[in-house]
Structure 1
């Protein structure tokens, strides 16, 4: 079945999903999200109205970066030029809204994530868990629009409001904003063809007390984001990073390979954006546990980030103001 619905704002194509999505599991701990091996359906053949035409067809297969915020939430930042991957955790409070990407003044894009709480697992070191219950993407160029994603629905508003269920696969496009929903798996958002985000949907059929339906946020393409981009993830997108053997003052200008050999110490000092941060090598699973990566873990995220935790709190889901001004990002 192939059905089309048109509004003054959007053109939408609803079709039977060609993606393999995992069924909801009865057992605790398994979610319905699939990895982003294929995260976007083909937009070719969609009937777009004047003003909503695509400049060129999208590649239906998009490689997703490791740069992400997922789970409890766990943050991962990839530095491709340095061949380094860094990870850190943020222990927020339920109800907090975290600024993930802040580029309102330049590209016009802001991404906020709202946290929901859950009890910690028995015998765990944490008192509670937090997950992303809502991801809000604000776009103010060329025209203002926003996208609000929960595990169960997507709200798209660019003058006309459209509500999309997450349990159906469909593609929506207008004004340079493209949204692809893969049923119960992920939502891909492409902005002006140069910025792409993938939001994984984690659903539990029979959740344990410490589990909640939640979202994971992944950056697929950051080409269209400016050098002034900030936020918990955005501040690292245009940066380089290095590893040193010892803290400043003790080092002899030596640098370390991206990952330690078996006979090397797994503790280093990360030099990024003017910060020098102790890190330890570890492995972490991303993409709903489908890929295991090597990363350098910063136990103290406060040493890695600009400012303080409160500087990354948005007043509301549609808040695009930022504490950080131009030129804050510093070199090595």
Structure 2
């Protein structure tokens, strides 16, 4: 028998979505920090009016800490899935197939997969599909599900985050639906916030010099000094799907090689966690 839902849970709207969803009633910033596709991390640095990016290469099933605020306990973790069609021993792209968003201060948990959206799974909470249009409220958290498109989580005295649904098309090289995750507003998160994305909620300084042709003539290399380290970085393009989940927008960024080594705090393996919550 499922446990009762927290008394503060309110389903304030559940209705069919119009043909053209009004999902972007929230004003989305021009450039955001987030992670998408296989998985590419995109870090917007407003102080520099520039963007940094890096990949994390890990095995399907691994869970990564994306955001962790030790002051409140708020956390976002993501579990990787792989390409169903990959051959044994072949390392293909991995994608986020499951996200866990938790706010312990209000006993809030949200589990998101490309199939379902579950509120408070530990309490036997309601399950929604991406075909639903709904607004869910629990204490200081509001979850807006925009049919077949995205969902937005807003936390009082915290941040605002977007989960983008990617449905793969027939003939795509990707054989599973997957998720993207974007940070729309983080200015109320504490200064101790960490994680592969959370550590970049605070200003980060870097200098780029010695821009020169790289192995790909369309992607110049350069020297970057960041965190007192000298790195070789490459200028390239990534896709931001925060406003357009189908086509995305190209973002020019400095790519940091080797799983973000030298840019992220510590090694990427430090961000592997045992559970989604």
TM-score, structure 2 normalization = 0.83
How much is the aligned-residue C-alpha RMSD, in angstroms? 2.8
- The answer to whether residue 144 in structure 2 is matched with residue 180 in structure 1 is yes
Q: Which residue of 2 aligns with 1:245?
A: 209
Structure with more strand by fraction = 2
Q: Which residue of 2 aligns with 1:108?
A: 73
The structure-2 alpha-carbon separation of the partners of 1:280 and 1:201, relative to structure 1 and needing over 3 Å to count, comes to same
The structure-2 alpha-carbon separation of the partners of 1:168 and 1:221, relative to structure 1 and needing over 3 Å to count, comes to same
The structure-2 alpha-carbon separation of the partners of 1:145 and 1:154, relative to structure 1 and needing over 3 Å to count, comes to same
Is the contact made by 1:39 and 1:198 (CA closer than 8 Å) also made in structure 2?
Answer: no
How far residue 193 of structure 1 moved from its aligned partner, in angstroms, is 5.5
Is the contact made by 1:119 and 1:129 (CA closer than 8 Å) also made in structure 2?
Answer: no
Q: Which residue of 2 aligns with 1:151?
A: 114
How far apart in 2 are the matches of 1:19 and 1:67? 29
How far apart in 1 are the matches of 2:161 and 2:31? 9
How far apart in 1 are the matches of 2:239 and 2:93? 17
How far residue 312 of structure 1 moved from its aligned partner, in angstroms, is 0.7
CA offset digits 1:221-242 (Å, max 9, x no partner): 1012111111111111102222
Which 4+ residue blocks in structure 1 deviate beyond 6 angstroms?
Answer: none
How far apart in 2 are the matches of 1:153 and 1:146? 14
Q: Residue 165 of structure 2 aligns to a residue in which SS?
A: strand
Is the contact made by 1:188 and 1:197 (CA closer than 8 Å) also made in structure 2?
Answer: yes
Q: Which residue of 2 aligns with 1:271?
A: 225
How far apart in 2 are the matches of 1:120 and 1:286? 26
Give matches, 1:104-253, under 5 Å.
Answer: 105-118=70-83, 127-141=91-105, 143-157=106-120, 161-192=125-156, 194-204=158-168, 206=170, 208=172, 210-246=174-210
Unmatched runs of 5 consecutive residues or more in structure 1? 1-5, 22-37, 42-59, 247-255, 257-264, 319-332
Unmatched runs of 5 consecutive residues or more in structure 2? 212-218
